Structure 1
């Protein structure tokens, strides 16, 4: 009779992320507490984290503290194995620094690839030391990892080679894992993990999913993954969804909202029940730990809706979209006065008559050490009121520079 086991697929925690300037450590801690409860209640044996554990390659001490405390607490849970891969936001060297120590706790971390495909192939064993699961743990594949660029290469050619390199890497690692399976037990389940953008995937405006190449040239087709994979656990896209309509190939999505556009959107982690090579999937809805709301209308409508929310006890973070025709010079002041001394917080005001106000506020004093380089850059864009049409190009240039500096520091 096939062995039954339970796995949990999650990704894109983005620990250390700030929401329009607001520190989210408490909210993120609540999610990790809830996740641990689900692991215990559902008797989860294997936890899969498909990248973007942190929001930046230089996470602060509080974000790292959340991560390591969670891993420490897992030791007392039913979870026997944890598999973590790096995403594009993560520093491979930071994740892999305690790799050998974590391995003693059956926590497997793959931050980057090297010449050894076997580094990414994990054979997990049960309590009786018998093979129970094969995992191809493929981290985020950077351009430098999988191809050599030509001097006269066009943008289109660069994209084609990048896609071919990603596809070839998955084909190669899965072929080697399949050989292992046939030698051990043909009924052994094979799970593949990845952090990448599959063509046709849905995103949400403002959700923070970065374009990694101009025009999305790194997006690969869903058919690029080998058929031998029994379940594909992906990260990078923040909306939970199927890959190319296949229920056994999925993005779990980010467990916390990354933008106001996700207000009211259901967030999830995925509970997998495996019997041999057959998996059934049950989404577990993540509670809303910090309510968000978008209010739209003219000034009278906005003030009326704010008063209605003040009558509740829900501590909403608000985005206000002024849609009136009148130009109101003190619009911001009136709206801020309306929420003064209440449990409501206005984080953003969008005024279609003038411009957007980006209200970067924090409930505690900030120092430069607490801000990531990405956050400092975004603050500069806001302070200088750079037009949206120019911001994307500036972000792409900035991201290329920071990635280059990170690679030099890591010696990669």
Structure 2
């Protein structure tokens, strides 16, 4: 079927069969389908949607448009699992979760991305560590997955190339928000890693990618179903992003917070609670635990013995970073020259937080990108962020700003005050885990 006929079929609201979808995606990957045709196809899907069978086929076609990793020759002693998040503010889960799961006997080939809009990117955080190479050669990647159990890197040119081209055109044709295209984009890359199980962290709230609770729930359910039907058992958690997940936001600052969790310095936090919940589901999917209580015990032991922290340090060293990061954090992680406390205009309890606005404050400080080719200042960001329910007075600031100069710190301070709504009486924060969507057949 000609590309224009496939477009016409979807434009008229008809379902596409497997051959048509695979032919079109193959054309995207090989270049035989033009940019204009890709844009027209994306708009047709945006306007008319796809049924479940179409979504599964589209996901598998994107997965198969490039290399699909094969771990057979490595004779791995444990299952291969991964996690993906829709992103948020202070969301450094991957930095903790990957090595934590590896310390429990699984293998985690984590393909991550950079910051997008107000959300921080895992690769940007890791590049705050001197020498860390987010694009190693294939042999190094595979060796670390086997020997260390985890490697967090960027997408290679060989994995799901159709998605890269399709996403770029979606970005300039106002079709990013199409649910079938979002699901296929997320899963196409992940499933190309030949996983035994996947856990999806879908955010809900003021700092989430999806605009509404209904959309977040639909995305979580659809990802769990489509991935499972495509051959990878998947569980999706709907987690809270009505305030930053960690008390820090900004690249080097979030690495510090991850190390605090991994080394046991932080023992009670929203970050730890959400990461542990995701990790429990990963161990269940991997078959390494038969009950959630058993999974929790395994995880707690890996953290308490230092095994999880050791895996992180070995991964860093294996990808070109320092061998002694855990004992020399201040030596390696850059620090901002200006640190200012931000105080509230009047005392009171934090009643709500615009997480997106705090994320944009980090971007404006230089910790994110306004343009795709902007350089990132890994030093800047926010720490000791107040959380919903906290009482704020002269002794307790809303946050500390880490900035390159006084002017940018002053601008960030105004945004932080505007982002936090104060009141006389305390309120309870939203639950951290809103829902769990177990993998089901479509």
| TM band (smaller chain) | 0.3 to 0.5
Higher strand share: 1
Higher helix share: 2
Normalised TM-score (structure 1):
0.34
Normalised TM-score (structure 2):
0.33
